[in-house]
Amino acid sequence: MVNSLLIIAALALIVQAFIGLTYLISSIWEKEKRASIFAGLQFLGMLGLVIAFFYLVEGGFFETPTGLALLIAGVSVGAIGIFLLVRKTKPNQRALKGTAGLTVGEVKRYDQRQHVFGRNRSIRPGSEQYRRFYREHPEMEECDAKRREMGLTLGQHPGAIDGPYGRANVAATFAFWSIPIYLQSPKKVKPQAHPELRGKKVSLSPEEATERVEGYTRSIGADLVGIAEINPVWVYSHRGEIYYDNWEDWGKEIDIAHRYAVVFAMEMSFDMVGAGPHTPTVMESMQNYAKGAYISTQLASFIANLGYSATANHLRHYEALMVPLAVDAGLGELGRLGYLVTKEFGPRVRLGAVTTELPLIPDRPVDIGVEDFCRICKKCALCCPSNAIPLGDQAEVNGSFRWKLNAKSCFDYWAKIGTDCNICMRVCPWSHARTFPHKVIVKLIIRNSIARRLFSVMDDIFYGKKPRPKPGPRWAGFNAGQSG
């Protein structure tokens, strides 16, 4: 019995020290100075326990009554701790129902004209659309007019937070911007089949169509892909963003006849997001929006060539809300910060979609513990410079149960600094690079409510309650000494 307990204890201590070493290596690789120091101290403590254990074994301490009692107690406590940490706790039934689980009342479709981006980017002062919109929404006019007077509209001061040091990154950002602009025309987002294929519908079972569509989407650059059956409440009610001077479409009701949405996500670079709110993060955002425009228009064209209608949804042509579609497609859960949080990359993703009539097999929503974790963590809210993210619990907002963001204050901060900030994305504990120890932590968090509480506290200890931005890659350098 003693020998068996000694073997169990030795293996447990060695595994613990190994994980501690991998965490130290991971922290150094992530360029996290604070975490590296704490991880180093943790590893030394774990290594000390291993050395002390084998020293006591060699000295015969565990053959004494006191040593045996200590050994039994240590193994018992460790076994109980592991059991409590790895056991699968009760699933979140609300998450498993997707957006239906978050629907607690009547959800009114969102008018794209009212979106803070749409009314500040698209509606031109003095135009007929401007006069018509503010006649219908006079409560918004004064606020929006003050914002314009202060120059607080996106595009007014690109890269302002980094000044001249960020101009190269701004140049790269606008280079990526050109791709969605090029792919924004009606012919690109709602493509026709190639002339030689028109009228020749390919007969596919829903299973085969799903396999081909998901495989094609991954092959052209998507990191995650899922299928959702479209709930009409997540379709915008009226068009409000105009990009190609097709103003006759402004204010028109949006009607999607398609039943399915192919939703995809692209990972945002850990190093680039780590610089948020500085210019590398907006460059990374725009790079992924460019990828999303390419992937969605290519996928729509592929489906059109199969003989079925399809519409691309990307930065320059959204007909539906991406996060609810992604939740229903099983890509992740809605987090406190308003972004989709995925198992694979946390919130470090950008989304795109293609709606289609092609019969497909929908994926199921997932429960990965995000709702419970976000209730505990609150780091994004504490770090948000515009106080746009609530610290309190979820509440009913337009018939759905969620955290209500202050889009106005968020938008104003973006416009002031000239980037899309991404501080909330950067500080989120789910955003860490998926090195070995972080993969282990994510698996435990997904399974267990105790792990969520433990690792939320540990994240504050190792990374700080308000982690500072990192320099990012040298090629995307900026003035790291500036505030942020």
| pLDDT at res. 241 | 83
Phi-psi region at 338: left, alpha or beta (left = phi > 0; alpha = psi -120 to 50):
left
* pLDDT value of residue 413: 94
Whole-number pLDDT of residue 276: 96
**pLDDT for res 191:** 97
Please name the residues in contact with 375: beta carbons below 8 A apart, sequence gap of 6 or more: 336, 393
**Burial track 131-149 (b if 16+ CB lie within 10 A, e otherwise):** eebbeeeeeeeeebeebee
pLDDT at 145: 85
Report CA torsion sign: 220, 225, 226, 230: negative
Task: Determine the pLDDT at residue 351.
Answer: 98
Using CA atoms, how far apart are residues 429 and 433, in angstroms rounded to an integer?
A: 10
CA distance 295 to 265: 10
| Mean pLDDT per 10-residue segment, the chain (484 residues) | 90 95 96 96 96 94 93 94 94 97 96 86 83 89 83 82 94 96 93 93 97 98 98 95 78 94 98 97 97 98 98 96 98 98 98 98 98 97 97 95 94 93 98 96 97 97 96 84 44
Angstrom distances, CA of residue 386 to CA of 55, 166, 405, 410, 411: 55, 22, 11, 6, 9
pLDDT of the residue at 122:
78
Listed by start position, the domains of the chain span 2-86, 93-476
In the prediction, which pLDDT does 483 show? Answer: 43
Residues 369 and 92 sit within 8 Å (Cβ to Cβ): yes
pLDDT recorded at residue 151: 76
Please give the pLDDT value at position 315. Answer: 94
Neighbours of 367 (CB within 10 A): 18
Question: How confident is the model at residue 147, as a pLDDT?
Answer: 83
Give the rounded distance of the alpha carbon of 245 from its chain centre.
Answer: 32
Q: How many CB atoms lie within 10 A of CB 200?
A: 11
What sign does the CA torsion over 55, 58, 62, 65 have? negative
Residue with tokens 């990154």: 169
How much is the pLDDT for 86?
94
Return the pLDDT at 354: 98
